[in-house]
Amino acid sequence: MPQHFLTILDFTPEEAVRLLDRAAAMKAANHRSDLLHGKTCILVFEKASTRTRVSFEVAVRHLGGWPIFMTQNDSQLGRDEPIRDTARVLSRYADCLIVRTFGHHKLQELAESGSIPVVNALSDEYHPCQIMADLLTMREHSGRLDGLTVAFVGDGNNIAHSLINAAARYPIKVVVAAPKGYEPDPAVVEKARSLGADVAVVNDPAEAARGAHYLYTDVWASMGQEAEQAKRAKAFAGFQINDALLALAAPGAKVLHCLPAHRGEEITDAVMEGPASIVWDEAENRLHVQKAILEWIFTKA
């Protein structure tokens, strides 16, 4: 059976720790290998991306493989072919699917119907590769993960969900501050808690930020939610990471953003460009963790 990576919970606790260690080692060594020599990875992107596409294409090439990029206009995922048919056909051509899509069910069906590994490069419900990069970045800056508190301020979206999952695999506390009606899925929270995660959901950004080691945010309206921009801007007023909110965090606290950022909305330009911002380290680390994830997949398959 192929090894898929759809959420962080696909790792055992031991694998989760080893993967971050491996990503750190790969980064330190500017790692290259021929692990994927002769192998093709198809990147199927229904949602446009800068960081995700480039980091994955480079990761595949650094491991000796060949990436093929397909947009929603090139694939059948957004059209009338059943997903199971797409999965079966692409499994005959390639060795891995790296998919950035809307509904998480598409990833699940691709994994169930195909015969090659499927990697979640983003879905509306989860963004696990991003959070793995965030974890590596936090470990680099703090020297540890144990005992860290991460406050996510904003929409209870795929970033929030994957952070919550991360708390079930790593010794961090996650506090999500979201407006009423925009909290993370209670089922995601409860599952993570059942696995030992320390997770809290509040409606007050100040409560979440107070004493946190990291403040994290994302855009208020994600791709596919553009029609809700005005409504969301009103609902999320007061949920901005700015100097006042940062002042409530622990001394030396750092700021994360998965990018792209809407400066002046969910985060101020001053914070993005200030000494607390580590978003560029965070963006770079997508490459390193994704190499480690691909290695994990292909050495375990």
DSSP structural state of residue 114: -
Using alpha carbons, list the distances in angstroms from residue 268 to 47, 179, 250, 274, 289: 26, 19, 19, 10, 28
Q: Is 58 buried (19+), middle (13-18) or exposed (0-12) by CB count in 10 A?
A: middle
Is residue 299 annotated as involved in ligand binding? no
Is residue 257 annotated as involved in ligand binding? no
Is residue 72 annotated as involved in ligand binding? no
Task: Identify whether 127 is a catalytic site residue.
Answer: yes
Task: Identify whether 229 is a catalytic site residue.
Answer: no
Is residue 171 annotated as involved in ligand binding? no
From the candidates 100, 139, 213, 232, which is the catalytic residue? 100
Task: Identify whether 286 is a catalytic site residue.
Answer: yes
d(CA 22, CA 291): 9
- Beta carbons of 81 and 255 less than 8 angstroms apart: no
From the candidates 130, 232, 257, 290, which is the catalytic residue? 130
- Beta carbons of 190 and 161 less than 8 angstroms apart: no
Task: Identify whether 281 is a catalytic site residue.
Answer: no
Is residue 286 annotated as involved in ligand binding? yes
Is residue 258 annotated as involved in ligand binding? yes
Q: Under DSSP, is residue 264 helix (H, G, I), strand (E, B) or coil?
A: coil
Is residue 290 annotated as involved in ligand binding? no
From the candidates 218, 232, 240, 290, which is the catalytic residue? 218
Task: Identify whether 108 is a catalytic site residue.
Answer: no
Task: Identify whether 4 is a catalytic site residue.
Answer: no
Residues in the annotated binding site: 49-52, 76, 100, 127-130, 158, 218, 222-223, 258-259, 286
Active site residue ranges: 100, 127, 130, 218, 258, 286
Residues in the annotated binding site for carbamoyl phosphate: 49-52, 76, 100, 127-130, 258-259, 286
Residues in the annotated binding site for L-ornithine: 158, 218, 222-223
